[in-house]
Amino acid sequence: MTTMPFEDLERAYDDLAAAIDRVGPSGEALLLAKLALLLAQRLDGIATFRESLAVALEDLPVAG
């Protein structure tokens, strides 16, 4: 799997931040869920998605 050059990752970071600001708190969860589904659909299988999800869950508190 090829890795995105850091410069592009920076652009993704900024684009995503701008998109979150654009939809605001009421739309940000929906935006991120849609984006995750779109990216998941471009993967070859579920494994990469699950690994990424596990990494994303690291160091996050569990809702009580």
Partner 1 sequence: MRPAGRGPLESLYFHYPHFSARPVPELDGQTITHPVAIVGGGPVGMTAALALARYGIRSVLLDRKPTFNDGSRATCIARASYHIFEQIGAVAPFLAKSLGWRRGRSFFRGREIYRFDMPHSDDEKYLPMYNLQQQYLEQYLWDAVARSPLIDARWESEVSAIAEQPDGVRLRIETPLGAYPLTAQYVLAADGARSAVRGLLGLRLQGENYEGRYVIADVRMEHDYPTERRALFDPASNPGGTVLIHKQPDNIWRVDYQLRDGESAEAAVEEANIRARVGAILKDIGHDKPWELEWWSIYTANTLCLDDYTHGRTIFIGDSAHIVPIFGVRGLNNGLADAFNIGWKLGYVLGGQAGAGLLDSYTPERRGATLDVFANASKSARFMTPPTRGVALMRAAVLSLALRHDFVRRFVDPRLMVPYTYRETLGETARRRDSEFSGGAVAGSACVNAHLADGSYLLDHVGTGFAGLYFSDGAPLDPALAARLGALDPRFTLVTIAAPGAAAPAGAIADPHGTVSRRLAAGPGSFYLLRPDMHVAGRWRRLEATEVTDVLALALGRSQGRTG
> Could you list the residues that contact partner 1 (CB under 8 A)?
29-30, 33-34, 36-38, 41
Of 11 and 34, nearer to partner 1 (C-beta) is 34
Q: Quote the tokens at residue 12.
A: 């993704």
Asked whether 20 and 28 are in contact (CB, 8 A), the reply is yes
Of 8 and 48, nearer to partner 1 (C-beta) is 48
Cα separation values, 54 from 4, 8, 20, 25, 27, Å = 20, 23, 22, 24, 24
Of 38 and 55, nearer to partner 1 (C-beta) is 38
Shortest spacing between CB 10 and partner 1, in angstroms: 26
